[in-house]
Chains A and B, each alone.
Chain A
């Protein structure tokens, strides 16, 4: 198993008229960790899917150890020594670890009878070598995401991958799990595996890379050394200088008008998704709910809005109970809500921008006359909001699905903030949004706070939480690990996101064994 040099020459990938990759050149030297840095939608994943044989390039060449190759499918790429860990794991949830690792590469006896014992042995070997704690007979859906990711890495290693592509691998991890992943990447590199690390998180890219290639709008815009400063990298990635820190005045919290008390939410099977959670948000403050994805944040916001059943406990807004009310009643009581997935829950893609801007207001007398809509008023409203929120579009009559992610999110925000609010909830307010729009959206959220609205943010991006929050509530497995000040350290939050309560986490950081937990750099630049 030697090392491998990989070269991409002039790779172009078109989808219809859209050019996702435009003549990209990239060289990954053997035994290096090469980062691909770029915003969401810059074309990183497309490029890697081309490399992995999932897409056929429209033009260009792939060279492995200086020999040109063509991949007709992932099996060709795997045969050439390329392995990939996808952003959304490619694991069959109802299969065991061994079955997933075996799939496509099965050891068989006579007549195609599976010999899983051989696969189990390989998994144990790799587990032991890299210190993974993976049980070959565990069922995938029972495993935490961090372990699932290791299974993905094992899948590649079992196939003797000499280049490993990791597509946004840290998106689903706690800071501590990210540190462990960085360790693993170091071990793999030492063992001779080259790694392509795809990310938009500057801090991580700087921490792991030997070399950095920056991609913007499908083109390579430059390469950088990991010693480059975060601001340099950011401006290269975005194409203009950006301020990475938000100027916001200290919060002046008023009365705690939004209160969640002993809230428990269960699924039909009786498992608690939100488990006895109590906290409150004051007027004029932003409380951010932090946690790794899937720890009850989604259910918490859905419950406030009245979307879930099996709810116990109490949610009070201005002293009025919200539990048991319909969504319409909750909205009418002054709740603005930005759902985590704008394309499925926030917008109707085929409706126009103007229509989407009044999705929850069309029945109000401003926008309707009897049974018909007041088209003129809706158009006027749309023009005003497009201007106010800087939505980049040719026409208010364009289907909202034609907008970029950032502009779609501005439409959602514009709609939700167009009523006087008593509570503003935003779930993943900047997921899949370009850096320029992030700045704008964050400013609007802070502006809403400064008007005296209680604001509840849910985000799995720790950077965003630290930037916006006046206080941070950490959820783990549906339980509240504690509410800590907005300027708490990443290490503290990371430990809480991994299931320690605030007190335990603080004790852990103060204790003698805290050295391991502080390998990451402290604060973002």
Chain B
């Protein structure tokens, strides 16, 4: 029998797997831009106010002619779509910067179109961003809770419940003690309590983590709703004394708080706002640069490997889930101690789930989750800022924006997200 020789020389004309998702989406959006921003675009201008009247440094307003901007944006979008098509044709995939540039361009086009279409034709960017922080802060705390849990291999669907428990407890305890910091500590304890149930059922009794999380959300919603009716509505001398928490004051940082846009957004916050920024940095550093983080990531990726190297997998997970609960609980306190001044039923309004989406969008990285939360926050606040002005699209559609973004994020259109390999998989020795 003769020996057949193998074709070891690499075949010319390499076959390519092409992923047309990106060029197709670009094409559709560019067509939308062409029709809506350019052809049917409003005539006037859009004014972006960069400074507020009281600011130390005044920046001039940014005035953009609507239709001209629409045309420029459309042309650039079409160019990017063509480029994406060519890249896919050639290599089967598109480079990452294309998606980022396209998104920025499209958002500019969308903003100009919406603003120019309102009857006031202007928007205060500072207002947009500072308002967004009201949403961003709890989302970030929730995402950080998710980062800690999922990095160690436990899926935390109960973020919503932890936020809600934190909000309720903070309000109750702060009202009773008259001390906002006491409320903050109590909120952390409440978050830990929810986490404890999650940890016991999912780690000790190996119950499906998604189901436990969902059940916990329902439990907390029911429990806080019940206690709200039974306790918080009690009136003494005509006032509800158990739902009147003192506020955490804003503590502007000198100099930094005077930077246009950034200053009011990040440096005129309550202690919770600063805690958020610190936690993002600290958790990032701890995860990627310390022994603690190395072990946690190993437990979330390959628990057997960690176990054989002497790391106690389930203890690590238990601790992380509890720590995550404390962080989400503190995030919940933001609702009642900073954002508004009293608890109301189901006041977290699904932000815990948006936090979950931010976690995925941010690829299980604290910094990524923070940036994703900023995006969701701004998108969510756009609607409330514009609700006073008459917008060209119905306010309800604008209100959908954060959720539409969430679906895009989770669908993997914006790069493939790779979760910790053992996330959601209980660890049983042997």
Binding site for B on A (CB under 8 A): 49, 52, 54-55, 73-75, 78, 84, 86, 88, 90-95, 99-100, 102-106, 108, 111-114, 155, 264, 266-270, 272, 275-276, 278-279, 310, 312, 471, 479-485, 501-504, 506
Contacts and interface: CB of A to CB of B under 8 A. Distances in A.
A270 B92 CA distance: 8
B311 A104 contact: yes
Contacts of B289: 113-114
A245 to B, nearest CB: 21
B1 interface: yes
A103 B307 contact: no
A103 B311 contact: yes
Given A95-B301, A104-B310, A270-B93, A503 B5 contact: yes
Contact of A272 (B15, B308, B310): B15
Given A104-B295, A112-B292, 5 more contacts: A74-B309, A90-B308, A113-B291, A483-B3, A503-B3
B298 interface: yes
Contact of B17 (A73, A84, A113, A268): A268
Contact of B291 (A114, A155, A481): A114
B13 to A, nearest CB: 10
A108 B298 CA distance: 17
Contacts of A279: 4
Given A54-B308, A78-B310, A276-B11, A502 B5 contact: yes
B308 A52 contact: yes
Contacts of B306: 92, 103-104
Contacts of A275: 11
Contacts of B93: 270
Contacts of B310: 73-75, 78, 104-105
Nearest to A492: B3
B299 to A, nearest CB: 10
B15 A264 contact: yes
Given A279-B4, A502-B6, A105 B16 contact: no
A503 B6 CA distance: 9
Nearest to A481: B6
A103 B304 CA distance: 12
Contacts of B292: 112
Contact of A485 (B1, B18, B19, B298): B1
A310 B290 contact: no
A196 to B, nearest CB: 16
A76 B85 CA distance: 58
A266 B15 contact: yes
B301 A482 contact: no
- Kindly list the 3 A-B residue pairs having the minimum CB-CB distance in the complex, ordered from nearest: A104-B309, A75-B310, A270-B17
B302 interface: yes
13 contacts: A49-B430, A73-B307, A92-B298, A111-B290, A114-B291, A268-B17, A268-B19, A270-B18, A482-B4, A483-B4, A502-B3, A502-B6, A506-B3
Interface string B7-22: 1100100111111000
A107 to B, nearest CB: 9
Q: Which of A55, A100, A112 has the most B CB atoms < 10 Å from its CB?
A: A112
Contact of A90 (B5, B295, B305): B305
Interface in B294-339: 294-295, 297-298, 301-302, 304-312
B430 A485 contact: no
A92 B7 contact: no
B429 interface: yes
Nearest to A269: B17
Nearest to B305: A90
Contacts of A269: 17
B176 interface: no
A482 B3 contact: yes
Contacts of A310: 17
B279 interface: no
Contact of B1 (A73, A270, A471, A481): A471
Interface in B146-201: none
A479 B11 CA distance: 10
A114 B18 CA distance: 41
B110 interface: no
Contacts of A501: 5-6, 8
A92 B3 contact: no
A102 B6 contact: no
A461 to B, nearest CB: 22
B421 interface: yes
B8 A479 contact: yes
A500 to B, nearest CB: 8
A279 B17 CA distance: 24
A501 to B, nearest CB: 4
Contacts of A506: 3
Nearest to A100: B305
Contacts of A93: 301-302, 421
Given A480-B7, A485-B1, A54 B430 contact: yes
Nearest to A504: B8
Contacts of A102: 294
Q: Which of B1, B311, B421 has the most A CB atoms < 10 Å from its CB?
A: B1
A49 B19 CA distance: 46
A502 B304 contact: no
B298 to A, nearest CB: 5
Contacts of B11: 264, 275-276
Contacts of A485: 1, 3
